[in-house]
Structure formats: C-alpha cells, structure tokens
Amino acid sequence: MDKFMQAAIDEARLGRKEGGIPIGSVLVRNGEIVAKGHNKRVQEDNPIKHGEMDCLNNAGRQRTYRDTVIYSTLMPCFMCAGTIVQFKIPKVIVGESRTFDGAREFMESHGVEVIDLDLDECVQMMEEFIEAEPTLWNEDIMEL
C-alpha cells in the first residue's frame, strides 16, 4: 500500500470514528505530506467540508499547487473536482470509484491526471458505510 493512500485511508477511518462519512484525503508535495483531511460535513455541520476540501483547507495558503498530488479514498465530486481544477493540481490518485463515480471526466477534460487504484479496502469501507447509513450517504451526494 502506498503510504500516502494509507494516510488518506487513516483519515477516512478517523472521520467514520467521529460519526462522519469515511472519506479521507492527503495533499503531497515532493514526497512529503503537506496536509491531511477527512469529510467533516456531519461533525462540523458544514455542507462543503468534504475530504478534499478539508485537506486543502488544512494546507492553508500555498503559493502554488502545480507541484502537488492529491490523494482521496473516493473519486472526487464536482465541487472538489472544481477546486482541484481551480488550484491547478495536476494529479489525483483515488482509492476507488465503484461506489461513487464522481467527476473523473470533468477533471480529465481540464488536464488533470486521474489514477483510480480501485482498492478493495476503500470499496469495502464505503459499502459498509452506505449499508449502515444510507440516508446520510444520500444526503452527502445530494440524492434525497
């Protein structure tokens, strides 16, 4: 397991332990973690605190993102993908997209390289969450 994806998975598990949605993210530059985050929509009652948004918020002000890679346990949604495109993050490495296909084509159409690792661990984590909390999941992806 890639250590950066493992860090994102650890963030996702922390989010679930806090009663939230198990999606984690890590921002990396030059082989070092710049910031970590996880979905905090439930914990902070904040509709835009997705895993990637929390991670980027935790990164604080950066001069540039063009030399970074963002890892996420789940394919980013359009909101997070829009931020990735806006910040010109060139590469996204995703744990899985089976449970949510997100905005891959949108990111790729804007020059972002998207790598989907299709990790069973990430799929299982989301499937368990979706089965246990279908209403919360549907709220998160705006399918109510």
CATH number at residue 13: 3.40.140.10
CA distance 130 to 138: 9
pLDDT at 124: 98
Query: How many domains does the chain contain in total?
Result: 1
Quick check: is 52 catalytic?
Answer: yes
Instruction: Indicate which residue of 11, 52, 96, 133 is catalytic.
Output: 52
User: Is 80 exceeded by the pLDDT of residue 1?
Assistant: no
User: Is 90 exceeded by the pLDDT of residue 143?
Assistant: no
Range of the domain at 37: 3-141
* Mean pLDDT (whole number) for 35-57: 97
The four Cα atoms 49, 120, 103, 71 give a dihedral, to 10 degrees, of 60
* Mean pLDDT (whole number) for 38-55: 96
pLDDT at 3: 97
Are 102 and 73 a contacting pair, CB within 8 Å? no
Could you tell me the end-to-end alpha-carbon distance of the chain, in angstroms, rounded to an integer?
35
**Cut 0.75: pTM above it:** yes
